[in-house]
């Protein structure tokens, strides 16, 4: 990216960028939708944010890694908790979000809607 003094800054933001499924770029390669991060008055690195649908896939993959097994193998209560957390993160505002989550959890769209409605009624 830029000078060697910027490496600690880049190392500090990399876990966040990785967690959201973004990409680090040199600042001079930033496009209009990229976010350029500056440190001590100099542009250090640009972050290319993922498309929302890609973010959902990235979040689901991270949840699977955290659980240590495919999400479809979780019990009903764990799946309900995942749906609750995903709803709080806006996952169902993404086009085909319910279908994507249902597929990852190994349940039907109807089941995901039931989990969502159950939370609203609780």
pLDDT digits (tens, 9 = 90+) for 84-96: 999 988 888 888 8
| pTM, to two decimals | 0.62
Asked if residue 114 has pLDDT above 80, the reply is yes
Asked if residue 3 has pLDDT above 70, the reply is no
Asked if residue 28 has pLDDT above 60, the reply is yes
What residues have CB less than 8 Å from 115, skipping those under 6 apart? Answer: 79, 80, 83, 84
Closest CA to 62 of 107, 11, 119, 16: 16
């Amino acid at each position: 990216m830029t000078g060697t003094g910027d490496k600690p800054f880049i190392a500090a933001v990399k876990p966040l960028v990785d967690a959201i499924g973004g990409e680090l770029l040199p600042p001079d390669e930033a496009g209009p939708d990229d976010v350029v991060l500056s440190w001590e008055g100099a542009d250090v690195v640009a972050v290319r944010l993922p498309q929302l649908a890609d973010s959902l896939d990235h979040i689901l993959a991270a949840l699977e890694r955290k659980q240590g097994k495919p999400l479809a193998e979780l019990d009903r209560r764990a799946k309900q908790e995942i749906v609750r957390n995903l709803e709080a993160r806006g996952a169902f505002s993404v086009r085909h979000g319910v279908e994507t989550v249902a597929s990852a959890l190994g349940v039907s769209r109807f089941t995901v809607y039931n989990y969502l409605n159950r939370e609203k009624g609780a």
